[in-house]
Structure 1
């Protein structure tokens, strides 16, 4: 196997789990993070088929540099997993708590980031007949999420996925995963959300990063699936108003 994947936001949490799963399956992986050089290098350490590259995907220039360095190192690119994202808990009713700086940052990282990386990777993925997997959220499907800007950004990621699937097919497949609550270092202290998911979600347990990695790995092997969104939420998306 000589397949190469670029996973953004891979220094911890879901992205780390995805990168490690792909390495276990024989992929060569470029792990990306931003201002997380030590953590990212620790994840890549011990894996001869992995490198860590620090870059801000909200910048088109940085996204292109990231893709170019990946291809320069490994010689090709077969898959992009757009996982990088940010979130902060802000009650949806507290509109004044969302300042312009936070709104713009969320949109830049969560929505513009996948666009930047997809555009930078397009030529390489055309050559490999590769694919893109975007990490969205159940918050983009239902009226839920850690904040309104976060939910709006993830709804945008879902539609971006559909649009890119049409625009880049048949040569490049584009899909998305939509996690619900996943127990990561970022979300571990969200006690009220954790309790709700454990008690109300049909699966009756908290989601783990490995749950998302499993679905991403599955999508990478599905040659006749594009433009789809797979919730990874233990059925949380079935609960109205969650």
Structure 2
């Protein structure tokens, strides 16, 4: 699919990865709706970046835990951009009690993490499906290398992100042949909203564990997402990008 002239919605577009996705889509000639739930000022700045490329943009408030908010946000994006051809589910949430403490994982914590990382992409994809079908478009989900193997398996984030790969296959089968659905599963990306508060000792642990001795490049992840949008015969796939931490 040629991205130029296509309308896109980036969920989590105010974050570090989301902002890069927004910028690359605009550079490729897309109009971009910036979905946000926190960081309204960052969402506005992302919209300004799109408009500097001469493309249309709109900031779309989205509460991924509220189906009504999701339906309204998708409708706003589609109305502002005359449809949707690309959906990127880039929002994410981490946090929770200390690793290994099962009893500390209360239902509220579990629900918050899984709703944003797993249920949210389902809700947005479901709401956007009629527009994406009409455009014969593409969805790119974002999992995590934590969802593969045992790294981080004692965190709520792990099963939620692991489920995104299964969701990707489900959506790919459900929306075929009209919509292609793929997933990028990054490792730790520095300078994002999610990783911004991580101590250097935590970051260096990821770096040293990776075979390439590097954390994950935001550009590598974002560019692969656009490659999935352009590829006409790829669907249902998950690509891990983590510097060689996990061989998948």
Give me the TM-score of the superposition, normalised by structure 2: 0.91
Following superposition, the deviation at residue 202 of structure 1 comes to 1.7
1:184-237 superposed Cα distances (whole Å, 9 cap, x missing partner): 232132433311222231221122322211111111111100000011111111
Which residue of 45, 48, 51 maps to 1:45?
48
Per mean C-alpha deviation after superposition, the further-off stretch among 190-199 and 148-157 is: 190-199
Cα gap change, 1:156 to 1:46, in 2 (>3 Å):
closer
Matched, 1:227 2:230: no
Following superposition, the deviation at residue 146 of structure 1 comes to 8.1
Cα gap change, 1:173 to 1:2, in 2 (>3 Å):
same
Which residue of 3, 8, 11 maps to 2:14?
11
The number of equivalent residue pairs is 239
CA contact (8 A) 2:138 2:180 kept: yes
Matched, 1:78 2:85: yes
Unaligned ranges ≥5, structure 2: none
Matched, 1:185 2:188: no
Q: Trace 1:148-187 onto structure 2 (pairs within 5 A).
A: 148-183=155-190, 184-187=192-195
1:4-32 superposed Cα distances (whole Å, 9 cap, x missing partner): 11000111211111111111111111011
1:103-136 superposed Cα distances (whole Å, 9 cap, x missing partner): 1101111111001001001111110001111001
Unaligned ranges ≥5, structure 1: none
Following superposition, the deviation at residue 90 of structure 1 comes to 4.5
CA contact (8 A) 1:181 1:193 kept: no
Per mean C-alpha deviation after superposition, the further-off stretch among 145-154 and 155-164 is: 145-154
Once residues 126 and 117 of structure 2 are traced to their aligned partners in structure 1, the CA distance between those partners, rounded to angstroms, is 15
Once residues 152 and 190 of structure 1 are traced to their aligned partners in structure 2, the CA distance between those partners, rounded to angstroms, is 24
* Aligned Cα root-mean-square deviation (Å): 1.7
